[in-house]
Amino acid sequence: MKKVFCVGELLIDFVAEKQGNDLSKASVFTKKAGGAPANVACAIAKLGGNGVFIGCVGDDPFGSFLLDVVKKEGVDVSLAQKSDTFTTLAFVSLAEDGERDFVFSRGADKELTYDLTLRKDFDGNILHLGAATALLGGPLEKTYGKYLFDALTKEMFISFDPNFRGDLWKDNESQFIKKCKPFIEKSHLCKFSLEEAQLLSGKTDVYDACDFLHEVGTQIITITLGKEGTLLSANNTKTLVPSIKVKPVDTTGAGDAFIGCLLHQISDLGNFKPVFENYALLLKMVEKANKAGAITTTNYGAIIALPTKSQLEN
Ligand code: ATP
């Protein structure tokens, strides 16, 4: 089984207790572990895979809490770094209409420094870059570029999820699009939400968006479409892979469960050739990943809602 190195942020989500409150009125917050790349590492570990998290937290109680949570799920955190800068915090309240009130206090996640010694561990493994905060600058952004370069020279399978957060790129979407381009160009697999595919391609139609993004470079594209399932595109073939019917209560983390499950299956293959050559196999993998995403929506929270191997199989 290959290792899946997931690089990026692990942060505290302070979620306002009373839904419907705006942040100026909220008084009670629940502390939760968040950060898409860390969620993906958890999704892989919960399925019995080899998820490795590479990111930076503060050398403070929040940082210790976060690493404990992720470690308990079976993620290898030996490559995580601690910084004197405080742990990154996000304060979120969700109104009943789904609108978010959001305050982001960026701290230690941006401090991740490049580790040259990792090159030997990278050999033939998988690299997942989930760029929610990584492209916002700081040492992390430079580290991202360097790991992408290392991954190419070390024949890794490279996966990219832009994880666009509108709150973080207000009035600056063109910068986001520009910064994502080299990652889409060099990755073997990209996972987009519909909003991301439309934003990054400038096309409204999902099939046109997909064609555009292939032209940028990536060979395998998955566009997740919530309850509609996933559009898979590879080898000049596109399939809308339906999801399973569930009663969703909270969709947080569904996308991370999806890509985590897909990467876990790829890591189990031993070599990456079939992923590029066997479309039927890829289709089966996406069906399973859809199931992982769907199960995640049936529970509250992100990490806690990610399915285990037995939940996925039953
Ligand atoms: P996020 O960024 O919130 O983690 P996302 O927008 O990237 O998520 P979604 O499309 O919400 O990803 O979900 C990922 C996958 O999970 C979907 O492709 C689908 O297979 C499954 N899924 C999500 N929501 C539902 C649902 N309501 N019913 C069934 N399956 C779902």
Structure confidence by residue, pLDDT tens digits, 173-199 = 999 999 999 999 999 999 999 999 999
Q: Partners of 263 in the beta sheet?
A: none
Contact 203, 172 (CB under 8 A): no
Q: Which of 304, 313, 310 is nearest to 42 (CA)?
A: 304
So what's the pLDDT on residue 97?
A: 65
Please identify which residue in the block is written with the tokens 């999801």.
243
So what's the pLDDT on residue 94?
A: 77
pLDDT band at 129 (very low <50, low <70, confident <90, very high): very high
Query: Which ligand 1 atom is the nearest neighbour of the CA of 195?
Result: 6
So what's the pLDDT on residue 59?
A: 98
Tell me the HSE value of 29 on the side-chain side, using a 13 A CA sphere. Answer: 20
So what's the pLDDT on residue 281?
A: 97
Whether the per-residue pLDDT at 2 is higher than 90: the answer is yes
Q: Is 246 in the pocket of ligand 1 (CB under 6 A)?
A: yes
Whether the per-residue pLDDT at 98 is higher than 70: the answer is no
**DSSP summary character for residue 123:** T
Query: Which ligand 1 atom is the nearest neighbour of the CA of 39?
Result: 4
* Tens-place pLDDT, residues 146-160: 999 999 999 999 999
Distance in angstroms (rounded) separating the CA atoms of residues 204 and 189:
21
Ligand 1 midpoint to CA 261 (Å): 13
Q: Is 194 in the pocket of ligand 1 (CB under 6 A)?
A: no
CB atoms within 10 A of CB 175: 12
Q: Greater confidence, 63 or 26?
A: 63
Whose Cα sits closest to atom 28 in ligand 1? 227
Q: Following DSSP, what letter does each residue of 38-80 receive, concatenated?
A: HHHHHHHHHTT-EEEEE-EEESSHHHHHHHHHHHHTT-B-TT-
So what's the pLDDT on residue 19?
A: 65
Residue of 40, 191, 198, 224 to mutate, ligand 1, most atoms within 8 A of C-beta: 224
pLDDT band at 100 (very low <50, low <70, confident <90, very high): confident
- Dihedral angle computed from the Cα positions of residues 66, 5, 151 and 125, in that order, rounded to the nearest 10 degrees: 170
Distance in angstroms (rounded) separating the CA atoms of residues 129 and 126:
10
So what's the pLDDT on residue 249?
A: 87
Contact 102, 167 (CB under 8 A): yes
Interacting residues of 64 by C-beta distance below 8 A, sequence separation 6+: none
Q: Which of 135, 87, 84, 132 is nearest to 109 (CA)?
A: 87
Whether the per-residue pLDDT at 6 is higher than 80: the answer is yes
pLDDT band at 259 (very low <50, low <70, confident <90, very high): very high
Determine the average pLDDT of the residues in 229-241.
Answer: 97
Whether the per-residue pLDDT at 244 is higher than 80: the answer is yes
Determine the average pLDDT of the residues in 247-276.
Answer: 94
Distance in angstroms (rounded) separating the CA atoms of residues 250 and 254:
9
Distance in angstroms (rounded) separating the CA atoms of residues 8 and 40:
10
**DSSP summary character for residue 124:** T
Domain spans of the chain? Answer: 3-9+34-85+108-313
SS3 assignment, position 30: strand
Ligand 1 midpoint to CA 129 (Å): 19
Whether the per-residue pLDDT at 131 is higher than 70: the answer is yes
Specify whether domain 3-9+34-85+108-313 bears CATH 1.10.150.240. no
